[in-house]
Chain A
Amino acid sequence: MQSFFQTLVSGLSFGAVYSLIALGFSLVYRTMGLVNFAHGAVLMTGAYLASTFYLSARLPFAVAVPAAVLATGVVGLLIERVLRPLESKDVDLMLIGTIGAGTVLEAVAILIWTSSGRGVPSPVRAAPLDVGGVRIPVYNLVVIAVAAVTMVLLTLFLQRTKRGAAMQAVAMDPEAATAVGIHVGRSNAVAFAIGAGLAALAGSLASPMLFVSPTMGDSLGIQGFAAAILGGFGSIPGAIVGGLGIGVIGSFAAQWFQGYSDLVTFVVFTVLVMVRPTGVFGEKTVNRA
């Protein structure tokens, strides 16, 4: 029972990270109808920036992470600007465009930071909490809390602010949004930048739990993508539930089926998606048609 809860705790903390990644995917998807295949590479860029600010510039972690989020947001804006001519065209083109952008980011990251990768020491030095024999690292709680606060803020932004409402409008109907004076391109840019910022947040939060390397974006990106699908692409509660779900499934699969946990995760995922072809919470963009 103890090991069960131990696995659950680690699954939930990774799940919180996956939720953040899935949120980035979902936000871009619901606004632009696009699966951003550069998301993993953007995440990796964010993690490297945060670790550079934290380790080399010796900024406190709580400053390094927001700085990295902002810087990565700018990277997101840049990518969106380059790819904007493709937005009005077939979405497969945008797909390849983002794959190209991701490739460039990864190569540039290796050029700057070399391919060897780096470990990031945990910024929280307190001893793990002991709850009934289950050891909970304090940093994992911080990660879960930060992820939760971010999701609340994002929801408030989308529902309570003018810019957020405009983005929702674009998501529902780009033409009608244009007709009432919303700049669709700008709205897409904001969505892309926020998505990049979320990826950077996820990457920098995950870096003390994992290892920062040029390939970290691939595996984390795929997990986040799976999480977004599981919850229902474009849905915010879906991203949260999907992320936690993938985290917990992956954690138990790694515990019980060492060596081929990927395969088990895949089978569970496929069965779930076969039962619910548009995710647990359903597609958020169907009302576009």
Chain B
Amino acid sequence: MSRHLGAAALVAILVALLSIRLTQFRDFQMAQVAVYVTAVAGLTVLTGLSGQISLGNGAFMAIGGYGTALLLLHLAWPLAAVLAASAAIAALAGALVGAATARLHGPYLAGATLLLAVALPSLTYKYPGVFGGEQGLNVTVSAPGSVPLTRWQAWITCGCALLTLVLLANLSASRIGRNWRAVRDDEVAAALAGVNVAWARILAFVVSAACAGLAGSLLAVTTGLVAPTDFTVTLSVALLTGAVIGGLGSLAGAVWGSLLVVLVPTYATDVATSHGLSSAVGSNIPVAAYGVVLIVVMLVFPNGIQGGLRRLAARVVPSPRRDEPVPAEMNNTAVRNASREASHEEIPKTPARRRARGRIGGGGRRLRLLEHERQQQLGRADGLGAGDHQQRDPDR
């Protein structure tokens, strides 16, 4: 726990120093990345830890954003209270959605949450008097003293993102986090072990919605405006993309994913405009490039960026426990996961049961077969210690 706090304090100092060195635009980008980190981290907990997919977290962001705008506009609360209240309102909405979808899995859950993201913004058109219709609502915050506004916004968003990461890291290492993992890997076994499956699933939705609500609130503070076009399905898809591409189930992955989702399109646009492409071409080449990057990252890093980095790190610095003999009947993954569990690291999800049930996953049997073969190979290599070196897992 103190480890998380220490790391967060270190990053906070770095971020503060960096934000002073950077230009206004870079400060704004930093704030944007922090907004995404907050939301993606929440989604990572929901999808990576509790195994529920959501394509509707953009809707919770909308709730947080509009909550912020309305609270600032009508009640003029202090900013910290507004942020907390927005997260709380979104958490309440998350409880409702979580309860309504507690029985749904895979594509059904994805579809129901997707439709939530489609449908919710249309409320703003229905009640333009309250939500400002298509124009949306203005959000004005002022920076204290002589701090430039964008830098102040970067500080607020990065601070909240770090706080979220610390809280989520502690939560996932706690009993609640273990319950989520148990539910993700096998609902029946979790229920038999005394975990209240429905509550665990709903709680994951609540936590994830609170994070998304806070992120929406921060987005409103950063952009100074909430409008229905800010919270489209595209946003929800981008959040899930960030979570998966960073590495599901890993909070560090949420940071990588957010960086990629926010910076790659901007960077590609910069490159396109600097090469003097016409606006039609120049604005769409980056979009295509972003799509290609998504595919390539998935092909190269099947465990997300964080998983890929971890593998690279393991190759450069072989960890001592790799040299210990692995009992033939214990599979490599189990050992690795156990050691990760001990060091509070996130485990890349390997829920064979979940996939085999033909939820959003399918093809589980193929996976299990592969895993089985791998185990056998490993067992042979480790147990007999002879021959077959070519057949060893390249991972080892």
Q: B298 touching A97 by the CB < 8 A rule? A: yes
State the CA gap A67–B363 with chains docked (Å): 33
B100, A97: Cβ atoms closer than 8 Å: no
Asked if B248 is an interface residue, CB under 8 A from chain A, the answer is yes
Interface size class of A (residues with CB under 8 A): 35 or more
Q: Are A104 and B366 in contact (CB under 8 A)?
A: no
Chain B 356-372 interface mask (CB, 8 Å, partner A; 1/0): 11101111111101100
Residues in B neighbouring A261, C-beta threshold 8 A? 122
| B20 sits at the interface (CB 8 A) | no
Q: How far is the CB of B279 from chain A (nearest CB, A)?
A: 11
Most buried by A among B106, B111, B126, B357: B111
Q: Tell me which residues from 243 to 273 in chain A have a Cβ below 8 Å from any Cβ of chain B.
A: 259-263, 265-267, 269-270, 273
Quick check: is A18 within 8 A (CB to CB) of the other chain?
A: no
The answer to whether the Cβ of B141 comes within 8 Å of any Cβ in the partner chain is no
Contact A86/B108 with A97-B295, A101-B295, A262-B119 known, Cβ cut-off 8 Å? no
B76 interface residue (CB < 8 Å to A): no
Could you say which of B60-68, B201-209, B280-288, B324-332 contacts chain A?
A: B280-288
Q: Are A225 and B302 in contact (CB under 8 A)?
A: no
Query: Is B290 touching A263 in the complex (CB atoms < 8 A)?
Result: no
Q: Is the CB of A274 within 8 A of B284?
A: no
Whether A141 sits at the interface, judged by CB under 8 Å, is no
CB of B237 closer than 8 Å to a CB of A = yes
Contact B291 A32, beta carbon cutoff 8 Å: no
Cα distance A114–B281 when bound, in Å?
Answer: 9
With beta carbons under 8 angstroms apart, the residue of A87, A110, A173, A269 that contacts B280 is A110
- Nearest residue (CB) in B for A261 is B122
Q: Does B233 contact A (CB under 8 A)?
A: yes
Interface range for B:
35 or more
| B92 in the interface (beta carbon within 8 A) | no
Which residues of B, 217-237, contact A by the 8 Å Cβ criterion? 233, 237
Report whether B357 and A286 are in contact in the complex, using a CB–CB cutoff of 8 Å: yes
In the bound complex, do residue A91 and residue B122 qualify as a contact, i.e. CB atoms below 8 Å apart?
A: no
B72 at the binding interface (Cβ < 8 Å): no
Structural contact, B244 and A96, CB atoms closer than 8 A: yes
Instruction: Check if A289 is an interface residue, CB within 8 A of chain B.
Output: yes
Chain A nearest Cβ from B130, distance in angstroms: 13
Partner of B357, one of A86, A106, A265, A289: A289
**Is B80 interfacial (CB 8 A cutoff)?**
no
B79 at the A interface (CB under 8 A): no
Residues of chain A within 8 A of B114, CB atoms compared: 222, 225
For A175, what are the chain B residues with a Cβ–Cβ distance below 8 Å? Answer: 365-366, 369
Closest chain B residue, CB of each to CB of A88: B366
Knowing A99-B241, A263-B119 touch, does A35 contact B284 (C-beta < 8 A)?
no
Contacts of A286 in B (CB 8 A): 357-358
Contact between chains at A266 and B116 (CB < 8 Å): yes
Does A154 count as interface, using CB distance less than 8 angstroms?
no
Interface string of A25-36 (1 = CB under 8 A from B): 000010011110
**B321, CB-defined interface residue at 8 Å:** no
Query: Complex formed: what's the CA distance from A114 to B284 in Å?
Result: 10
The contact of A93 among B100, B104, B302, B370, by CB within 8 Å, is B302
Interchain CB contact (< 8 A) of B241 among A96, A265, A267: A96
Return chain B residues, CB-CB under 8 Å to A263.
Answer: 119-120, 122-123, 126
Nearest 5 CB-CB pairings of A with B:
A33-B362, A100-B294, A103-B291, A266-B119, A104-B291
Given A97-B295, A273-B112, A283-B358; 10 other pairs, CB 8 A cutoff: A35-B110, A83-B295, A88-B367, A90-B361, A97-B294, A103-B290, A104-B295, A107-B285, A260-B126, A288-B358
Q: State the B residues within 8 Å of A (CB).
A: 47, 53, 100-101, 103-108, 110-112, 114-116, 118-120, 122-123, 125-126, 233, 237, 240-241, 244-245, 248, 280-281, 284-285, 287-288, 290-295, 298-299, 302, 349, 355-358, 360-367, 369-370
A residues at B contact (CB < 8 Å): 29, 32-35, 37, 82-83, 85-93, 95-97, 99-108, 110-111, 114-115, 173-175, 184, 218, 222, 225-226, 228-229, 233, 259-263, 265-267, 269-270, 273-274, 277-279, 283, 285-286, 288-289
